[in-house]
Amino acid sequence: MRIPSAMSRPFGGRRDRASPWRNFNQESSQEALAFNHHISTPTAYDSRPNPFESPYENYAQHDRIQTTSTFGNELEQRRSYPSIPAQGFTRRFVWAGVVRWLTGALFSALYYIAIWLYSGRTLSMDQKSTFDALVVAISIALGLNLAGSLKETAIHMRWWFLGKGYTIVDEIELHSLMSLAGVLWRSPQPAVKTVCALWIVLNLALQAAISALGLTYKGDPGIQDIYVTSNPNDMVAIPDMSKFARPGRFNDGEGPQSYAAHILGDIGGSYNYSTLPPEPLTNQPVAKYPFSLWDQTDHWEYVYVNSAPSVVFGAFNFLSVHTNASVTASAVCATPPYDLATNTTTQVVTIRHATNNRTVAFPLIAMGVESIYYLTAPQLNIQTASTGACGPGCSTVHALEPMAGPPAPDSFVHPSSAVFYYECNVTVTDPTGRLAEAEAAVAAQAIALSGQITSTTPAAQYYAPPDGARAEYTSYPFGLQFGEAQNNSAVGMGHMMAKFAAGVVAAAAQTNPRVLVPGAQPRQGVRLVLELPAAFAAVLCAASGVQAGLMVLAAWLVGRVDVARLGGRGREMDLRTKRTLDIYSN
């Protein structure tokens, strides 16, 4: 029979320009044609029982060499190789494909776990960098896994292309998208074009989908996403609590300091307040808990904040966190028995304690208007080293309140008076020492430090020692925050005075200049949010589904191909050249 030439084009294939056997086969074919030499067809070796073994191991044992004896120096060799059933390679392909699919599923699970672990909490810059590196690594690994799976599937599909008439090796080396595009361009068969186009589109779509996963989540900085550093060399800004009125703005002295404390208390009274949350406030962003005062029922608290250094003098910095340092303000009030006397000449009303004969002089107008009058002896006027009239950080404040309702149970009510009288000891405590005890006593009595005095005559001077200390007072009409009638309730009046004292500290801490001290510095963080969870899951599931579906499709199509019968009419040798078998069996 005639030797099939390697230059022939069986099944509509193009010439094998890259085949290393080209020149040898071409010369042998020309010689055979010139001398009309006939070489018998080599006998095919029977199929091996194990399809996973190389189909041409020890192929030298099966060589059939035919030599043209007319010209002894001219040789033409043909080796016969065993028939290769595609089903054996399909089983191996399926097992390898399952491993690749499981690997891809593992990468998808790792991607989801990374998102789940890092989402919903504030991330520092180091944590954000770690997350970015982790996600990039997983994305690259997942993309390479999908690309490798599609490539191996395309290589396995060469059996199917072979069945469609592509018998020349160069035309079915499907190792890249360009080779698939070449087959798509050259093939006249609609089925081949459809498969190639689908393969290219799916490959590009999957890679684009994996890249687009980053669009389903985002990490945005927010005013609540603040974290603190652990660098011991960092500095934080804290308020300077040494004074209430700053030198340079006012004359330094007891008058400006006392009046400044009173103004700060009015400012602090307008601040938001709440009860303490169940979780510790330490290192929590101020924006998360934007309250300056904390109502603890029996006392009020102000919690100091640490801020990042700022170039703006005295301005609030949202890069601030609560600390574990706080200032407490409490008050213990009583409604003691008293005698009342008025003096129209001096325009004062005298309250005399029935038990110890101490007297307190209020302005006479306090008896006739719907206002609460507060009175105290200014702490800074006392020229001693005292840290408070009733103890460190403690001051005594008196109050007259016109009757506006029935009195509280078990409280003293004067039978001929139309006012309720309170005597309160207000205490401000700062364990940190930022607020000195004397200044704390000023904050405790600041509700009455308006600069108004009851009288300049000696007869109206304040009762308490040291002698000669004058009294200051102020009034708050009914309806205002600190003019709310308590109806002789000692607890209610004490709670209201303690709030004013805590407000003094809070307002001073927020408006006073800052000083820098070593500490854990607040910094801006980011919060990872999975905005499109459905799209994120859909992409990962689709990638795994397409990978598995293409593997099953390729196994089904190739499993129906029988290479031994593809050529027909003695052309099996063209389909089983050494190079073709090398590619298919690797």
In a domain, 549, yes or no: yes
Determine which helix (DSSP H) or strand (DSSP E) holds 400, and give its type and residue range. Answer: strand 394-402
**In this structure, are 54 and 131 located in the same domain?**
no
By DSSP bridging, strand 371-376 and strand 394-402 are antiparallel
**In this structure, are 73 and 101 located in the same domain?**
no
Determine which helix (DSSP H) or strand (DSSP E) holds 159, and give its type and residue range. Answer: helix 158-163
For residue 36, is it left (φ>0), alpha (ψ between -120 and 50) or beta? left
- Rounded-to-integer distance, Cα 462 and Cα 396, Å: 12
The total number of structural domains in the chain stands at 3
**Per-residue 3-state assignment (H helix, E strand, C coil) for 284-326:** CECCCCCCCEEECCCCEEEEEEEECCCCCCCCCCCCEEEEEEE
**In this structure, are 68 and 95 located in the same domain?**
no
In a domain, 176, yes or no: yes
**In this structure, are 24 and 103 located in the same domain?**
no
**In this structure, are 470 and 395 located in the same domain?**
yes
Render each residue's pLDDT in the chain as its tens digit; 586 residues. Answer: 333 333 333 333 444 444 433 443 444 444 433 333 333 334 333 444 444 343 434 433 333 333 333 333 333 333 333 444 445 566 777 888 888 899 989 999 999 999 999 988 888 888 889 999 999 999 999 988 888 887 777 777 766 666 655 544 444 555 566 666 776 776 677 776 777 777 778 778 888 888 888 888 888 887 888 888 888 788 898 988 888 877 655 556 677 888 889 999 999 999 999 999 988 899 999 988 999 999 998 999 999 999 888 755 555 678 889 999 999 999 999 999 988 888 777 677 888 887 777 888 888 888 877 899 999 988 776 555 567 778 889 999 999 999 888 888 888 888 888 889 999 999 999 998 899 888 899 999 999 998 887 654 444 444 443 444 578 899 999 989 999 999 999 999 999 999 999 999 999 998 888 888 998 889 888 888 888 999 999 999 988 888 888 888 888 877 766 555 444 433 443 444 444 444 444 4
Residues in the chain: 586
**In this structure, are 45 and 185 located in the same domain?**
no
State both tokens at 543: 């990638």
In a domain, 485, yes or no: yes
Q: Hey, what amino acid is at 49?
A: P
Residue position matching structure tokens 């009733």 = 390
Domain span holding position 20: 10-79
Who contacts 417 (Cβ-Cβ below 8 Å, separation ≥6)?
A: 340
- Rounded-to-integer distance, Cα 463 and Cα 474, Å: 18
Who contacts 168 (Cβ-Cβ below 8 Å, separation ≥6)?
A: 9, 13, 14, 15, 16
- Rounded-to-integer distance, Cα 431 and Cα 327, Å: 7
In a domain, 263, yes or no: no
In a domain, 99, yes or no: yes
Spatial contact of 408 and 487, defined as CB atoms under 8 Å apart: yes
Residue position matching structure tokens 């294939």 = 13
**In this structure, are 64 and 111 located in the same domain?**
no
Beta strands, E only, 223-277: 226-228, 235-239, 273-274
Who contacts 374 (Cβ-Cβ below 8 Å, separation ≥6)?
A: 397, 398, 399, 447, 448, 473, 474, 475, 476, 497
**In this structure, are 357 and 481 located in the same domain?**
yes
**In this structure, are 119 and 212 located in the same domain?**
yes
Report the SS3 class of residue 527. Answer: strand
**In this structure, are 95 and 122 located in the same domain?**
yes
**In this structure, are 131 and 191 located in the same domain?**
yes
In a domain, 313, yes or no: no
In a domain, 521, yes or no: no
Spatial contact of 167 and 581, defined as CB atoms under 8 Å apart: no
